[in-house]
Amino acid sequence: MGCEIVRQESYEDPGRRSRLWLRNDIFHVFTKNTGTEVIEGILLYLDYLEEADWNLEAFSKMRKLKLLYIHNLRLSLGPKYLPNALRYLNWSFYPSKSLPPVFQPDELTELSLVFSNIDHLWNGIKYLSKLKSIDLSYSVNLTRTPDFTETAKVLRVYRVKCIWSFLKHLMYLAAQS
């Protein structure tokens, strides 16, 4: 019933819905660049790894996006912009070497970029007072980490098969190898 209520927000244009979870609707928004400020959540779970060419400029219109979950999608290019309102960012196979430089994730509580091409998250210090969990497992290109001095609430850092430095105030670390 809730899904139908969201569909009623805009039958014809999925970019005008507050939540997107259907593969075809999400692909439509990113191939046609029809994202809008209305979108607050995107959940794309693919059973098998797929490749796609998206127009990631659509993110620049999604200023209220709070949840972004992309699983099993390989893109050739990464985003130049991610909304600062993001609270939950989970993107397997994230294509870029770092998060966009203009991304100020002040609201971010969870960050998961497993199997990503990430080399480093960002440059300099970010004041991420709400960040609690970071998962960079199988991000084999990860070579350096940012200064986490101002990120005192991080409770969990997961890293499997990647290089990772010590985090001050870390309460739990899950690591293999």
d(CA 75, CA 86): 20
Which amino acid is residue 51, in one-letter code?
Answer: E
State pTM to two decimals: 0.84
Helix and strand totals (H; E) in the chain: 2, 8
- Summarize pLDDT for 105-142 with one digit per residue, the tens: 889 999 999 999 998 888 877 778 888 888 888 888 88
Nearest-angstrom CA–CA distance, 32 and 151: 37
